[in-house]
A = this chain, B = another copy of it.
Amino acid sequence: MKNQTAPPSLSATIADAIRSDIVEGRLLVGDRLPSEAELADQHGVSRATVREALKRLAAQSLIRTERGAFGGAFVNHLSYDEARAQQVTTSTLLLGMNAISFQVACEARYALERSCTALAAERRTEAFLATMRTEITTQSAPDLSDEAFCASDVAFHRALVDCAGNEVLSYHLAGSVEAMQPLMNMITFTARSRAEIIDLHRAIVAGLEIRDVASVDRALATLEAYTITLGQSVLKARATR
């Protein structure tokens, strides 16, 4: 019979040990780990096993390796970009693999996005407003593909999120917004639906400009409802086909 809980492999165990050292601060950013040969000795395993453990950590951006003399594995400085990329991968897979209804995903995404409106209205700068207006212009091009429209839509919302002037908030929200893109790409945007969306984007920018949080929230709520409608019509069309 198969073990229900297979014992973790040596490489997984070693990876976990080093991971704790990093997460709990016993290894600091920039610190160099012992060489693979030394780690192999310390843990009483072969170099191949140590390497597999290190690759696991590298996959999480916890360490980076450099070749050559005085090279080795170093505790990596996790940048916002790396962290965001990881979060987007994880979130995208989670949405794609769990038969989550479009409505639930959308509800979560807009609920989260609304959490930045108050700060964004308070701190909005001309630069971010200009970015949003540029994206609105892009979205208005009549010969734009659905994918390009979606991409610009994501860029617009990213600008809205960044406008709140809080990097940590941006990181979390970027993950939730970008992970929705594959789901959004299912939707075919007609000229009419694009016009509606663009109108709501304009309303968001206008609201930010006069720092009217309530109107921004209203526009986002309308956008949420409209997006869910679009998503449901896609599903209905698929069901009858």
Contacts and interface: CB of A to CB of B under 8 A. Distances in A.
A92 B12 CA distance: 21
A92 B22 CA distance: 11
Interface string A164-178: 101111011101100
Interface residues of A, number: 64
A15 interface: yes
14 contacts: A23-B93, A29-B97, A52-B52, A53-B55, A55-B56, A62-B93, A78-B93, A80-B94, A83-B90, A87-B90, A104-B166, A111-B116, A111-B166, A112-B169
A48 interface: yes
Contacts of A116: 111
Nearest to A92: B23
Contact of A111 (B95, B97, B115): B115
Nearest to A106: B168
- Give the number of times this chain occurs in the complex, counting copies: 2
A119 interface: yes
A111 B213 CA distance: 14
Interface of A: 2, 6, 11-12, 15, 19, 22-23, 25, 29, 48, 51-53, 55-60, 62, 66-68, 77-78, 80, 83, 86-87, 89-98, 100, 104-105, 107-109, 111-116, 118-119, 164, 166-169, 171-173, 175-176
A105 B172 CA distance: 11
Contact of A115 (B23, B55, B114): B114
Contacts of A23: 89, 92-93, 96
Contacts of A59: 15, 55-57, 59-60
Contact of A97 (B78, B104, B164, B171): B78
Nearest to A107: B166
Contact of A172 (B25, B77, B175): B175
A100 B79 CA distance: 12
Contacts of A94: 78, 80, 83, 168, 171
